[in-house]
Structure 1
Amino acid sequence: MLGEFVTREQAATLAARARRQQEHLLEFEPDVVRSSYNLRPFLIHHHLCEHPSFSLDALFALCRRLPRGQVQYRVGAIPGDANFDSSYERYREGLRFDDVLEQFEERKAYICIYNPERDAGYRPVLEDLLAEIAAAIEDIDPVITWYSTYVFISTRDAVTPYHMDREMNFLLQVRGEKEVMLWNPRDDEIMSAAEKDRLLAAFESQRPSYKPSFEAKAMRYELRPGFGVHHPFIAPHRVHTGPDLSVSLAFTFRTQKSDLRTSAHAFNHVLRRCGWSPAEVGAEHPYADRAKAAAAHAMDVPLELLRKHRHARSAAAH
């Protein structure tokens, strides 16, 4: 898995590190964070626009020195309901990466830089952001366990197709403008309980698909440089750039709480594959969710044994 795991020792010091920083890159409103974090999107302010690491020249230099697998690209106009996971391969048009950098705007290109935190030049600023996020959520969701970052560089009128991540996210706009559309993952029409379980199961990775009926339920946020928006856990989203070149940073992360939910969803998916109808993962069943998460971590029991157990119970009932 790409990204960086955060040890317990590191997690314990993150918030204190942020408080020691003389200058902060992110501006959180504590009342908004307390009332909205992981429940609904909300806007934040940031100061990345002035940071030299996020100039276009610096980012293109980063693209050239990173391993090629960490820099994905596509060109041309793509529809908003395109398959997100296959979009890079499908809309690449056989171009060499050097051609894309040299003719970026002419090609209407879109570049995603995966895991810039693995670059020695970018790691310090991204670790500062990690510490600031940890400090902002320490009273609500106190232990960050993993993080991963992505830089998006796109020409005008580009689209990031509808999809959902398996983490929380702050999308920070550095240059240009974007319209970010988010959907409520707790809405059963947007994602059913079974779809969420399947999304978060480690051995299956299908993302639920977009439907035209979702459009009316979108929450829309207009981002300009210096603004960002919080994406709650597994919130579906689609992004459209404005009339100018756009640069943004997505800071995704996981916590002990989201890890527990992920494991509980994964175990629910196992139960569904065995023919059971488990209770939905959520705050209404905290003890059951913890038990499911523990069971998911102890998955030495083969699926066939679970199926036999269910069949035995069914036979006893008759």
Structure 2
Amino acid sequence: MSSLLHVQNQEFQSHFPLRPFRISHDLAGDPRLTLPAILELVGKLPGDRIEYNSGKVGISQDPSTTPLVDLTPDEVIARIETAGAWMVLKRIEVEPAYRDLLEDALTSVAKARGHKSVSDAGFSDIQGFLFASSPNSTTPFHLDGEDNFFVQIHGDKQFNVYDNEDRAILSEDLIEHSLTRHRNMTFDPAFENRGMHNSLKPGEGLFVPYLWPHYVQTKESYSISLAITWKSRAVKRRNSLYLANSLLRRRGFPQAAPGMHRVWDETKILAVQMGALAVEPLRKSERLRKSIRALVLGKRANYYYRNGKAAGTAKAEAS
């Protein structure tokens, strides 16, 4: 198997997995990442795995006022050059062909680290997020709760990423809110010169570490990009702690920042993990996934549903 992600460089050795660095890749010509393949994938995914809206949004977009586009997901892809839209297909690894693509790509990284496989390297919960955006579209300032190799497939994209340890940019409260309420955050123009600014062309990419905030803008052509993500054991535990703190805080119980009370932190992590195991069988149903999100994260957690229905056409319930 050839190496799909090219990471054998000095930055990989010194930065991974704590700081961002640029990479190159061999995925730009992959037939699974073309518009016809994406259109076919739209027809297979359940409705809550498809999110889209207007690409004409601000870097600090208020999620409650995000403009929509009056198109179906199929129409967005068919008209992507003129639709003025931004779309993400989530959890594409549920389709075997895409699961293979993600695992093959991460195997490149695992072997570069001296491991035989992704599991040996500690890469678990491998997920894929496939983006299709019209020209001059913006993905607002946000952070993600996983590590990510972001690869550009078609078109040019500007990807600006900021240090998650810079507390002038990112507080613990903001991290918790972004992970458990809505990902969008406010971007202060004063942050601009603190960022790592990356102009990405097809065949280029970026490693985006856990919780590093960023915003993204397409240029003069439509864009196709892929986020190849995974979670280590430490990341999953940290996410569980943020979720536990958010649940308790919303019920009137103030919580200290992670690491302040380690025994109590461990108790909360265990409780969330046990709860996740209990509900996992229910997540095969889109209807139950929606209910679980609302119960755990609040009624606004299903923000991408329109008038009670998913943004996508109703699909089969298999996740």
Rate the CA distance shift 1:262–1:66 in 2: closer, same or farther, 3 A. Answer: closer
Asked if the contact 1:26–1:46 (Cα under 8 Å) also holds between the matched residues in 2, the reply is yes
**Which residue is 1:229 aligned to?**
206
**Which residue is 1:67 aligned to?**
46
Rate the CA distance shift 1:124–1:154 in 2: closer, same or farther, 3 A. Answer: same
**Which residue is 2:73 aligned to?**
97
User: Over alpha carbons, which structure has the higher Rg?
Assistant: 1
Q: CA deviation at 1:103?
A: 2.6
**Which residue is 1:168 aligned to?**
147
Ranges in structure 2 where 5+ consecutive residues have no aligned partner: 273-319
Asked if the contact 1:267–1:292 (Cα under 8 Å) also holds between the matched residues in 2, the reply is no
Asked if the contact 2:138–2:217 (Cα under 8 Å) also holds between the matched residues in 1, the reply is yes
Equivalent AA in structure 2 for residue 148 of structure 1: Q
**Which residue is 1:310 aligned to?**
none
Q: CA deviation at 1:262?
A: 3.0
Equivalent AA in structure 1 for residue 59 of structure 2: G
Q: Secondary structure at 1:110's aligned position in 2?
A: strand
Rate the CA distance shift 1:197–1:244 in 2: closer, same or farther, 3 A. Answer: closer
- State the Cα RMSD in Å: 2.9
**Which residue is 2:91 aligned to?**
115
Q: CA deviation at 1:93?
A: 3.3
Instruction: Determine which of 269, 273, 288 is the counterpart of 1:297.
Output: 269
Looking at structure 2, the residues matched to 266 and 66 of structure 1 have their Cα atoms a distance apart, in angstroms, of 26
Report the TM-score, using the length of structure 2 for normalisation: 0.72
Q: Secondary structure at 2:28's aligned position in 1?
A: helix
Looking at structure 1, the residues matched to 29 and 153 of structure 2 have their Cα atoms a distance apart, in angstroms, of 9
Alignment of 1:9-48 (within 5 A): 22-29=1-8, 31-48=10-27
TM-superposition CA deviations, 1:149-168 (whole Å, max 9, x none): 11111121111111111111
Looking at structure 2, the residues matched to 266 and 65 of structure 1 have their Cα atoms a distance apart, in angstroms, of 30
Q: CA deviation at 1:185?
A: 0.7
Asked if the contact 1:266–1:296 (Cα under 8 Å) also holds between the matched residues in 2, the reply is no
Looking at structure 1, the residues matched to 111 and 27 of structure 2 have their Cα atoms a distance apart, in angstroms, of 18
Looking at structure 1, the residues matched to 102 and 256 of structure 2 have their Cα atoms a distance apart, in angstroms, of 42
Asked if the contact 1:263–1:293 (Cα under 8 Å) also holds between the matched residues in 2, the reply is no
Alignment of 1:186-197 (within 5 A): 186-197=165-176
Q: Secondary structure at 1:296's aligned position in 2?
A: helix
Q: Secondary structure at 2:149's aligned position in 1?
A: strand
**Which residue is 2:187 aligned to?**
210
Q: CA deviation at 1:217?
A: 1.9
TM-superposition CA deviations, 1:213-267 (whole Å, max 9, x none): 3223221011111111011111111001111121110112110122233345556
Asked if the contact 2:87–2:132 (Cα under 8 Å) also holds between the matched residues in 1, the reply is yes
Asked if the contact 1:154–1:245 (Cα under 8 Å) also holds between the matched residues in 2, the reply is yes
Looking at structure 2, the residues matched to 79 and 274 of structure 1 have their Cα atoms a distance apart, in angstroms, of 34
Matched, 1:55 2:55: no
Q: Secondary structure at 2:97's aligned position in 1?
A: coil
TM-superposition CA deviations, 1:177-199 (whole Å, max 9, x none): 11101011100111123333454
Instruction: Determine which of 252, 262, 272 is the counterpart of 2:229.
Output: 252
Rate the CA distance shift 1:37–1:106 in 2: closer, same or farther, 3 A. Answer: same
Asked if the contact 2:39–2:74 (Cα under 8 Å) also holds between the matched residues in 1, the reply is no
Rate the CA distance shift 1:115–1:298 in 2: closer, same or farther, 3 A. Answer: closer
Asked if the contact 1:179–1:223 (Cα under 8 Å) also holds between the matched residues in 2, the reply is yes
Looking at structure 2, the residues matched to 292 and 170 of structure 1 have their Cα atoms a distance apart, in angstroms, of 33
TM-superposition CA deviations, 1:31-64 (whole Å, max 9, x none): 3223112332100111001211112222222223
Q: Secondary structure at 1:149's aligned position in 2?
A: strand
Report the TM-score, using the length of structure 1 for normalisation: 0.73
Asked if the contact 1:261–1:293 (Cα under 8 Å) also holds between the matched residues in 2, the reply is no
